[in-house]
Amino acid sequence: MKPVHLSLASSNSGKLREYRELAGNSPVQFKLIPNFRDIPAFEEAASTFAENSAGKALHYSQFTPELVVTDDSGLVVPALGGAPGVHSARYAGPGASDANRVEKLLHEMRGKAGDDRRARFICVVTLARNGRALAIVSNFVEGRVTLEPRGNNGFGYDPIFLLPGLGRTFAEASPQEKNHYSHRGIAFRRLLEMLLSPSDSLTLS
């Protein structure tokens, strides 16, 4: 099979690295959209991950002839009314770092124990070209919010998301372990199957 070139609509180098690891030795090759920061930004104002993911894909795919992949993902904590949710990347305000967001979430979780520390990572991945969505896939993984950050791998909320089946946070897990269990890993593997399997349901041209 010929290589499938996908442009990731993101400036997040950690996310690009993760997608490249997920693609592995497959014919799928990832890069960031050139001059991404110069493209008019898409306002992620929708109330669901699916709407934000699809909206970003439709928007950014108008600025390149290549296949575009976007995702919207985040951490949902029922005890906080679903926060940070679709605001996960902006939870601590504009310009905040991953550490700032983690610190704010742990502050909001103070005093909560047991089931109140349940959390869910959600990811919706969209594939688009020329302003048209070709595929939308999603998945989630259940876990718990730890009392403090643990581990140095990953990015975002990985240091405080404990996966019970793994017994470690995503930041303590190896890249291979995280890719196997993670919300983004499972969602992308579904998309990869569609990309690599001959099907009338997904036309890339």
Q: What is the CATH number for 114? A: 3.90.950.10
| Domain assignment present for 201 | no
| Domain assignment present for 124 | yes
pLDDT at 72 > cutoff 60? yes
| Domain assignment present for 204 | no
| Domain assignment present for 205 | no
Find out whether 178 and 156 touch, Cβ atoms under 8 Å. Answer: no
pLDDT at 205 > cutoff 80? no
Q: What pLDDT score was predicted for residue 202?
A: 61
Domain count of the chain? 1
pLDDT at 51 > cutoff 80? yes
Average per-residue pLDDT in the chain? 92
| Domain assignment present for 26 | yes
Q: In the annotation, is 72 catalytic?
A: yes
Instruction: Catalytic residue, from 71, 72, 98, 116: name it.
Output: 72
Q: What percent of the chain has pLDDT over 70?
A: 96
| Sign of the torsion formed by the C-alpha atoms of 152, 187, 25 and 132 | negative
| Domain assignment present for 192 | yes
The CA-atom distances, in angstroms, between 131 and each of 64, 92, 134 are 10, 31, 10
Measured distance CA(47)–CA(110) in Å, rounded: 26
| Domain assignment present for 203 | no
The predicted model scores a pTM of 0.89
| Domain assignment present for 36 | yes
| Sign of the torsion formed by the C-alpha atoms of 33, 39, 42 and 43 | positive
Query: What are the tens digits of pLDDT across the range 146-193?
Result: 999 999 998 899 999 999 888 999 999 998 899 899 999 999 999 999
**Can you give the residue range of the structural domain that contains 133?**
4-196
Give the pLDDT mean for 24-34: 91
